[in-house]
Amino acid sequence: MPKKKHASGAIELNLTSMMDVTFLLIIFFLLVNRMSSAQLPKLQAPDPVESKALDLPERSTVIINVVPDGEGAELAKSVMVGIREIPPNAYGELTELLKFETTKNPAVEVDLRADANLRYSEVQPVMKAITNAGITKVNLVAKVKEP
Amino acid sequence: MSQQPSKPKINPDVFENIEATETVHHASGGGGGRKGGVAQLNLTSMMDVCFLLLVFFILTSNFAPSEGILPAELPSGQGAKASDEEPPKEPLTIALRNLGGQTVNIEIVGDTTPIGQSFDDLFKVLKANEVSQGGQFTLDNPIVIKPDATVGWGHVVNAFNAAVRARYTNVNFAQPQ
């Protein structure tokens, strides 16, 4: 093979391997990353011992978020369903909303997502509002067991 | 006498008419002889975009444990599920009492076996009480979780999870005390 003659000082860089690694990394992070839903307010979900929580994707759900009044607070600030915010002790509105949702889609599931530090007395009225809407099957949101 | 190769004749007329601003182009030695030149690809922009994408995905990736669901059934308060022929089953009640801080005391009402504060121990006791393990409760026996009003929701879900782990299918929640 005849040698190529280069002008003095010019370095040729073979970028093939670097492109391979770069694309591998992009694909890795694309697959590992999951676009989180914008409708979930930030709260600390319960983390049970040997969690039996199931990570079921692609469900038609109404997520009821019981948001604490500050990080680690025991009292609830409000209940959020989507962008709608319902103040505490006014859960009749929640019952009406759930009745409307189940009429619109009878197969819809209801997820109860409450902060782990909230008192049971703050969450139980929400559960009562759910049963008042005629819904008995509820999914409790908890962290999935790490493999 | 050997003949020397003749030198190309320079036509002085051609150079006479060249203005001062004109340039004379000469055919290059390297490119002139090649047929169908190789196209060169500038990868700079592509590398920019690739690294931008990579940095975006690195910054937005989240390795926190994801959230799942525990299917539960809330009491409708409209009558027992059991038929009229079968006698209602005695529920197994799990009482949770707040001890202050993040600790909670767990006990099964009517059972003298102390459980303490570990939900793993609660699971073991529930499992031992099951009929196939020599206990007296079937898997469809109602279980009621009865927490104090100030017990944290995380502990309540933990107790529920222990019952689900022990494969009980009829787990309910009581009114707060």
pLDDT tens digits for chain B (177 residues)? 455 555 555 565 555 555 555 554 444 444 444 556 777 878 789 889 989 998 998 888 776 667 888 888 776 654 444 444 455 678 888 998 888 777 888 888 887 777 888 899 999 988 888 888 888 888 888 899 999 888 999 999 999 999 999 988 888 888 765
The mean pLDDT value for A95-114 works out to 89
Is residue A141's pLDDT more than 70? Answer: yes
- Whether residue A111 and residue B68 make contact (CB cut-off 8 A), yes or no, is no
Weakest-pLDDT range from A5-19, A123-137, B105-119: A5-19
Pick the residue from chain B with its C-alpha nearest to A127. B74
pLDDT in tens, A73-92: 888 888 988 888 898 878 88
The pLDDT score that the predictor gives to residue B48 is 92
The pLDDT score that the predictor gives to residue B82 is 43
The pLDDT score that the predictor gives to residue A60 is 81
> What whole-number distance in Å separates Cα of residue B106 and Cα of residue B98?
9
Query: How many other C-beta atoms are found inside a 10 Å radius of the C-beta of residue B93?
Result: 17
List, in order, residues 6 or more apart from B34 with CB less than 8 Å away. Answer: none
The pLDDT score that the predictor gives to residue B81 is 42
- Whether residue B67 and residue A124 make contact (CB cut-off 8 A), yes or no, is no
Weakest-pLDDT range from A17-26, A29-38, A105-114, B73-82: B73-82
Could you give the count of Cα atoms lying within 13 Å of A14 in the half-sphere of its Cβ? 2
- Token pair in block for residue A78: 């409000």
The pLDDT score that the predictor gives to residue B155 is 92
Shortest distance, CA B7 to any CA of chain A (angstroms)? 30
Q: What ipTM was predicted for this assembly?
A: 0.74
The pLDDT score that the predictor gives to residue A38 is 53
Contacts of residue A48 in chain B, CB cutoff 8 Å? 119, 154, 157-158, 160-162
pTM of the entire structure?
0.69
Sorting pLDDT into bands at 50, 70 and 90, what band is A72?
A: confident
Structure-model confidence comparison of residues B24 and A64, the more confident one: A64
* Residue B125: exposure state from Cβ atoms within 10 A (0-12, 13-18, ≥19): buried
**Of A119, A116, A135, nearest to A127 (Cα)?**
A135
* Residue B45: exposure state from Cβ atoms within 10 A (0-12, 13-18, ≥19): exposed
The mean pLDDT value for A37-53 works out to 79
| A-to-B residue pairs, Cβ atoms closer than 8 angstroms | 165
- Whether residue B154 and residue A46 make contact (CB cut-off 8 A), yes or no, is yes
Give phi and psi for B66, each to the nearest 5.
-80, 165
The pLDDT score that the predictor gives to residue B86 is 53
The pLDDT score that the predictor gives to residue A83 is 84
Mean per-residue pLDDT of chain A: 83
Distances in whole angstroms, Cα of residue A27 to Cα of each of A5, B53, B63, B130: 39, 10, 16, 48
> What whole-number distance in Å separates Cα of residue A26 and Cα of residue B101?
44
Is residue A2's pLDDT more than 60? Answer: no
- Whether residue B62 and residue A56 make contact (CB cut-off 8 A), yes or no, is no
Task: Give me the percent of chain A exceeding a pLDDT of 70.
Answer: 88
